[in-house]
Amino acid sequence: MAFNVTRRKFLQTASLAAVSIPLSKVVCAETGVTKASLEPKGTMNDTTVVGGLCEMCFWRCQMVGKVRDGQLIKLEGNPKSIDNGTSICARGNAGIKLLYDVDRLKYPLKNVGKRGEPVWKRISWQEALDECGSKLKAVVDQHGPQGICVFPHGASAKYPMHYFERTVGTHNVSEASFFQCRGVRDTAYMASINEAPEEYVDMANAKVIFLVGCHFGENIHVSHTKNYIKGLQNGAKLIVADPRYSASAAKSDIWVQIKPGTDTAYLLAIMNYLVQNKKYNQEFVTNHTAGFDKFSQSIAEWTLDKAAKECEIPAAQIKEVADLLAANAPNVTIHPGRFSSWYGNDFQRGRALACLTALLGAYYVKGGWLPPKKPKLSKTSWAAEEHGNEHNLNYHNNKMHHPYAPPGTPTELIRDCAISGKPYPIKGCVVWGQNPMQTIPNQEKMKQVFKAMDFVMCVDVMPTDVTMWADILLPESSYLERYDEIKVGATYVKADDKEPTQYIAPRYPMVEPQFERKDQVYITNEIAKRMGHEKDIPVQSLEELVNKTLEASKTTLASIKAEGGIHLQPGKPAGAVPEDFMVQLFSDEIADAGFPGAPTYIPVENVPAGHARLLFGRAPVHSFSRTQNNIWLHHAMPVNPVWLNDTVAAKLGLKEGDSVGFINSEGVKSRTTTIVKVTPGIRKDCVYMYHGYGMVNPMLSICGGKGVDEQSLITKIAIDPESGVHGMRNNFVKLTKDGKTLDMPA
């Protein structure tokens, strides 16, 4: 490569000698006219704007921007931040390439072709809003509010979601962050400890960090990663259970190469060992748990040997892990995880993690689960109204289908209803910031939903795959161009601080929106007016919404801006375990609902002969399927190689870098190919890919068709019975090469 450059340059310069050089250059040189500097200037002397709040993912790091000639040229961590400090991740740094992405949606568009095969015509906002308002109103008039379904994601989707849920009155809202991500974790913990766990684990002060499937390093949230590394630097032992030698496994002291789907069996064996050998925290169990006896009986069958066999790991290693946890309790982090939509048995795994934390007494202690006391904010949005459960699909036929569902309605209930028209028709669809083609399994089924609609509207910043199914497509201002939600938190600024410091950081626009992009309050209000809800509109602008939300904190957008974009105030320590804090080791409530009262292992389907289980996860440079068209991030990881065990690869005759496609056990083929990564760092019975690649929308000029869309291969649907959340790792694939299907060796 280097040689080619030299040679090419050499030839170019040699040929230049034969022709004349442009006169202007010679003249300039001779008259000493100052030439433009060849050296990029750096951003040190550019204007700094404060108040940026990142949304390349949902972690919301606080930023400052560097502006030159009205253009945002760099983003940096806000030096005033006590959360992320001056750090932002790759995605955060690449935010300006989303802002100025040439493929970004610029104007309201009307699909004058077919859904899924759009032909776009630019229309005015007036026409677009009239169309959305009248079509959605027609659906409500004909079918009732339940005739509308909503697929929201991200900060900008909260306001319109509340409008459709509260004011219009549909239950049919499916947030990807709940039903295809963390919802089952949240409800499992709520059923166990009465609150969602978030990621409130004090890894920085932990003696042991226990991760089940978390792959920090590939999955990046800045302050969380900082705490994780602080913990490791402080000497914490790291245990990682993962079928793959993940970025976290590579830093671990103990890697548990567990068989996919068997995590709960593993956790039950650890807990049973702690109980049988009286290595649990008896004081905590006595004071803060319920149902210990029933719980211990229920898990008693899970001996080390039984779990070893089920999970395909050594019994001695299970014991080693249990002993290490017990020896360091209570200052141990049992990480609740985040993305939990794995196998359709995930509620029970969440329960097991919550119960294991209790046995170790690791709630409200240093190094354990330690929720911060955050500043209070006002709640400002569309007024909550009661709409009853008559049209709530989760309550249909007087039966609660998924009693531990997160807020909204389980996606599959909405899709089945939309496609079948039973128990009622769903005819209008609002997609706001979500890309259901790549967040929800079984793309053909999703297409059926869109085909069944009278009207589909999408609002987004980028032309994601789902936007091809819109009738009206609206361009939204990005997180860098609008006011919006507020990040609050509390943290110890210095390790030896007695009290934590609280922070309040609202989102401010860093530059004006370009073209005809509008924010969610404008779009929602205009639609609401057209649907007859003008009198219910809670705020006239996003700025007003944020200021009203700040009221409880006695701050304003103006006061915080003057403080550098972040307000700091003294906080209070999390304190000891609240007296009424109870962990349901055995939950009568869950048992009454018809599910196991104690955490229970539910085996998942085994890998059929000739196949491998398809696993997927995060790339450090991407958030879901939202960032792939970002030119900097794309170049950092242009495709998603498939991880393949080295002995399997040898048997298949595949080597590193070979191009392969996929076919799943239901005969669905991948649209594109990717390359093979050959490694001993993955089990033989599975393959692994980064999520979010291989998009089809031709409007995505950078990432379109690059890598493989693993979601297109996830066609078999698994539903977690308690929560109604999807499980997405129960699909099986074979590799294909040059048109030939390769049977995975036994």
Using CB under 8 A as the binding rule, the residues of this chain from 53 to 82 that contact other proteins are 73-77
Is residue 88 part of the contact set for other proteins (CB under 8 A)? yes
Interface pick for other proteins out of 128, 184, 222, 713 (rule CB under 8 A): 222
Minimum CB distance to other proteins smaller for 246 or for 394:
246
Interface pick for other proteins out of 51, 52, 92, 118 (rule CB under 8 A): 92
Find the shortest distance in angstroms from Cβ 445 to other proteins.
Answer: 35
State the number of binding residues for other proteins (CB under 8 A): 75
Q: Please give the residues from 678 up to 717 whose contact with other proteins meets the rule CB under 8 A.
A: 679-682
Q: Please give the residues from 95 up to 154 whose contact with other proteins meets the rule CB under 8 A.
A: 96
Is residue 30 part of the contact set for other proteins (CB under 8 A)? yes
Q: Of 170-178, 343-351, 449-457, 628-636, which part binds other proteins (CB under 8 A)?
A: 628-636
Q: Of 187-195, 329-337, 513-521, 630-638, which part binds other proteins (CB under 8 A)?
A: 630-638
Do the strands 332-334 and 208-212 form a parallel or antiparallel pair, or are they unpaired? parallel
Is residue 624 part of the contact set for other proteins (CB under 8 A)? no
User: C-alpha distances in angstroms, 459 versus 150, 441, 544?
Assistant: 11, 21, 22
Buried b (16+ CB within 10 A) or exposed e, 165-193: bbbbbbbbbbbbbbbbbbbbbbbbbbbbb
Is residue 635 part of the contact set for other proteins (CB under 8 A)? yes
Q: Please give the residues from 33 up to 52 whose contact with other proteins meets the rule CB under 8 A.
A: 33, 35, 38-45
User: C-alpha distances in angstroms, 359 versus 237, 334, 671?
Assistant: 19, 11, 48
Nearest to 146 by CA among 119, 168, 113, 178: 168
Minimum CB distance to other proteins smaller for 236 or for 326:
236
Binding mask 171-210 for other proteins (x = CB under 8 A): ----------------------------------------
95 near 480, Cβ under 8 Å?
Answer: yes
Minimum CB distance to other proteins smaller for 216 or for 339:
216
Per-residue H/E/C for 664-705: ECCCCECCCCEEEEEECCECCCEEEEECCCCCCCCCCCCCCC
Find the shortest distance in angstroms from Cβ 685 to other proteins.
Answer: 17
Find the shortest distance in angstroms from Cβ 343 to other proteins.
Answer: 24
What string of DSSP letters covers 518-536?
B-HHHHHHHHHHHTT-GGG
322 near 279, Cβ under 8 Å?
Answer: yes
Is residue 23 part of the contact set for other proteins (CB under 8 A)? yes
SS3 238: strand
Interface pick for other proteins out of 58, 67, 87, 533 (rule CB under 8 A): 87
Q: Please give the residues from 594 up to 623 whose contact with other proteins meets the rule CB under 8 A.
A: 620-621
What string of DSSP letters covers 439-452?
HSS-HHHHHHHHHT
Between CA 473 and CA 64 the distance in angstroms is 31
Between CA 652 and CA 612 the distance in angstroms is 13
User: C-alpha distances in angstroms, 20 versus 16, 25, 458?
Assistant: 7, 11, 55
Find the shortest distance in angstroms from Cβ 670 to other proteins.
Answer: 23
Q: Of 244-252, 280-288, 325-333, 449-457, which part binds other proteins (CB under 8 A)?
A: 244-252
Q: At 212, phi and psi to the nearest 5?
A: -110, 100
DSSP 707: S
Find the shortest distance in angstroms from Cβ 193 to other proteins.
Answer: 29
Nearest to 264 by CA among 163, 374, 165, 340: 340
Q: Of 191-199, 250-258, 300-308, 460-468, which part binds other proteins (CB under 8 A)?
A: 250-258
Interface pick for other proteins out of 50, 173, 220, 417 (rule CB under 8 A): 220
Is residue 14 part of the contact set for other proteins (CB under 8 A)? yes
**Based on the number of CB atoms within 10 Å of its own CB, is 407 exposed (0-12), middle (13-18) or buried (19 or more)?**
middle
Is residue 315 part of the contact set for other proteins (CB under 8 A)? no
Minimum CB distance to other proteins smaller for 26 or for 384:
26
Between CA 100 and CA 631 the distance in angstroms is 10
